[in-house]
């Protein structure tokens, strides 16, 4: 049996209603900052519970344009998570700012107890990453943000509709940055991103920034970027958005099923599942003994398990100027050796999940000597 990781072929294999919407749209020629984009932004803001949303061309740009709106300059320090995906760090570095890393905990998000000691005079923003579908502890981070008057940009690229105390990712702070990349929970057909905010001034600034700083065809108010979300992708987004809650809930119920099954496997440790958290499982990650061998075994049995990520950003060659060394972030380091990600998406069948569980059990039986 094969358990594939990507479900993209299934997701868009049968969508005649989307095709008819696209055909109609193409005839309008409304390709840049068109009506469907305005509609998508309005619906996205409503879904998440923010006042505004601004479509941009990627999740990376969602972070970058938010940082830019805060007037982040070369030499500024931005606190972020040591275990994050390259894009969070890339957005910071592109503006000439310095990423200051904080280790994660077993929820895969930054350990908020370690944040205050990283704050310096140069700290201009905190970018917590709501990683794998968990949210960072925003209750604690909001307190720190207030105490030191440091704004927060939530990297919510992996956590659309994730929440703490029923308050969604992307609504807790100055900005929420989301990705619509094909591999994310709500995905379009190309790159895409969207920023949520409740602040009218930030909203207006973001709209300028993403469109060359133009207030009209001939007037450039500020230096900006070309970072519009394609209206064609917004048509896809509008088709998908009504399914967003179903997608989140299906992933949650799949994870619950896995959790129940894996709780009986003593070589597997399930990460904490706090009751007041809604974890949306962009990635279903477990801690596994003999991880490397288990991964190989799964692959040999047709299961596309993955590691997110085998080598943390701070040890990558691209950041060698920061002079970090192995051991600087011990929890992040320890995770690289024991984490394993299994498919958990909305198109996964019960049969496939049972096969994953059976294969893992089989592996430990064979290696239990």
Ligand X SMILES: *Cc1c(COP(=O)(O)O)cnc(C)c1O
Contact residues for ligand X, defined by CB under 6 A: 58-60, 84-85, 87-88, 129, 155, 157-158, 179, 181, 191, 193
Q: 90: Cβ–Cβ under 8 A, 6 or more apart, which residues?
A: 60
CA distance 81 to 108: 9
Task: Check if the beta carbon of residue 225 is closer than 8 Å to that of residue 61.
Answer: yes
Q: Which residue is nearest to ligand X (CB)?
A: 59
CA distance 99 to 126: 10
Q: Which is nearer to ligand X, 104 or 157 (CB)?
A: 157
* Distance in Å, CB of 193 to ligand X, minimum: 5
Q: Which is nearer to ligand X, 109 or 115 (CB)?
A: 109
Q: Which is nearer to ligand X, 45 or 169 (CB)?
A: 169
* Distance in Å, CB of 230 to ligand X, minimum: 13
Task: Check if the beta carbon of residue 156 is closer than 8 Å to that of residue 199.
Answer: no
Phi and psi (nearest 5°) for 163? -155, 165
CA distance 187 to 164: 23
Task: Check if the beta carbon of residue 311 is closer than 8 Å to that of residue 62.
Answer: no
* DSSP letters spanning 171-213: SSSSEEEEE--TTSSS--SS--EEEEES-HHHHHHHHHHTBTT
* Distance in Å, CB of 236 to ligand X, minimum: 14
Q: Which is nearer to ligand X, 225 or 355 (CB)?
A: 225
Q: Which is nearer to ligand X, 179 or 254 (CB)?
A: 179
Q: Which is nearer to ligand X, 58 or 233 (CB)?
A: 58
* Distance in Å, CB of 56 to ligand X, minimum: 9
Which tokens is 100 given?
């200051």
CA distance 283 to 133: 7
CA distance 40 to 35: 9
* Distance in Å, CB of 223 to ligand X, minimum: 21
* Distance in Å, CB of 183 to ligand X, minimum: 7
Q: Which is nearer to ligand X, 58 or 171 (CB)?
A: 58
* Distance in Å, CB of 338 to ligand X, minimum: 20
* Distance in Å, CB of 264 to ligand X, minimum: 31
Cα of 223 vs its chain's centroid, Å: 28
| Strand 284-288 with 268-269, pairing | antiparallel
* Distance in Å, CB of 64 to ligand X, minimum: 9
Q: Is residue 133 helix, strand or coil?
A: coil
CA distance 122 to 292: 40
Q: Which is nearer to ligand X, 12 or 355 (CB)?
A: 12
Phi and psi (nearest 5°) for 303? -95, 120
CA distance 25 to 27: 5
Q: Which is nearer to ligand X, 164 or 169 (CB)?
A: 169
Q: Which is nearer to ligand X, 64 or 207 (CB)?
A: 64
Q: Which of 105, 149, 145 is nearest to 129 (CA)?
A: 105
27: left (phi over 0), alpha (psi -120 to 50) or beta: alpha
What single DSSP character describes residue 115? S
* Distance in Å, CB of 278 to ligand X, minimum: 18
């Amino acid at each position: 049996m094969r358990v594939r990781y990507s479900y993209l072929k299934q997701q868009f294999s049968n969508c005649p209603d989307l095709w008819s919407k696209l055909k109609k749209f193409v005839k309008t020629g409304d390709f840049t900052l068109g009506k469907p984009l305005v509609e998508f932004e309005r619906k996205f803001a409503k879904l998440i519970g923010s006042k505004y949303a601004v479509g941009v061309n990627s999740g990376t740009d969602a972070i970058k344009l938010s940082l830019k709106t805060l007037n982040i300059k070369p030499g500024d320090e931005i606190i972020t998570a040591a275990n994050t995906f390259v894009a969070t760090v890339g957005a910071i570095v592109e503006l000439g700012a310095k990423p200051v890393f904080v280790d994660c905990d077993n929820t895969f998000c930054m350990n908020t107890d370690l944040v205050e000691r990283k704050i310096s005079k140069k700290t201009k923003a905190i970018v917590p990453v709501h990683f794998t579908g968990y949210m960072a502890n925003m209750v604690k981070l909001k307190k720190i943000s207030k105490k030191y008057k440091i704004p927060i940009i939530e990297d919510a690229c992996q956590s659309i509709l994730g929440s703490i105390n029923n308050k969604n990712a992307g609504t807790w702070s100055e900005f929420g940055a989301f990705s619509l990349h094909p591999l994310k929970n709500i995905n379009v057909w190309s790159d895409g991103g969207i920023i949520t905010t409740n602040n009218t001034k930030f909203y207006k600034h973001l709209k300028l920034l993403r469109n060359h700083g133009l207030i009209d065809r001939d007037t450039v108010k500020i230096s900006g970027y070309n970072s519009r979300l394609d209206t064609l992708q917004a048509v896809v987004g509008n088709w998908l958005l009504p399914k967003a809650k179903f997608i989140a809930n299906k992933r949650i119920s799949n994870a619950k099923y896995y959790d129940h099954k894996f709780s009986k496997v003593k070589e597997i440790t399930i990460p904490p599942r706090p009751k007041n958290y809604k974890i949306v499982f962009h990635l279903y990650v477990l801690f596994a003994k003999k991880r490397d061998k288990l991964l190989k075994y799964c692959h040999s049995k047709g299961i596309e398990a993955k590691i997110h990520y085998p080598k943390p950003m701070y040890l990558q060659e691209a950041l060698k100027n920061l002079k970090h060394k192995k051991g600087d972030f011990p929890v992040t380091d320890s995770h690289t050796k024991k984490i394993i990600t299994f498919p958990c998406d909305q198109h996964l069948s019960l049969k496939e999940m049972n096969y994953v569980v059976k294969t893992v059990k089989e592996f430990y039986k064979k290696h239990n000597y």
